[in-house]
Chain A
Amino acid sequence: ETGVTQSPTHLIKTRGQQVTLRCSSQSGHNTVSWYQQALGQGPQFIFQYYREEENGRGNFPPRFSGLQFPNYSSELNVNALELDDSALYLCASSFPGVLDYGYTFGSGTRLTVV
Chain B
Amino acid sequence: GDSVTQMEGPVTLSEEAFLTINCTYTATGYPSLFWYVQYPGEGLQLLLKATKADDKGSNKGFEATYRKETTSFHLEKGSVQVSDSAVYFCALASYNQGGKLIFGQGTELSVKP
Chain B residues bordering chain A, tally (CB within 8 A)? 26
Q: In residues 22-70 of chain A, which contact B (Cβ within 8 Å)? A: 31, 33, 35, 40-45, 48, 55-56, 58
Chain A residues bordering chain B, tally (CB within 8 A)? 28
Partner of B43, one of A40, A99, A106: A106
Q: Are B104's CB and A42's CB within 8 A?
A: yes
**Using Cβ atoms and an 8 Å threshold, which residues of chain B touch A102?**
32, 34, 46, 49, 93
Min CB gap A87→B, angstroms? 13
Asked if A76 lies at the interface with its beta carbon under 8 angstroms from chain B, I say no
Q: In residues 55-104 of chain B, which contact A (Cβ within 8 Å)? A: 89, 91, 93-95, 98-104
- A99–B99 Cα gap in the complex (Å)? 7
**Using Cβ atoms and an 8 Å threshold, which residues of chain A touch B14?**
none
- A102–B76 Cα gap in the complex (Å)? 20
Partner of B100, one of A4, A6, A45, A106: A45
Closest chain A residue, CB of each to CB of B31: A99
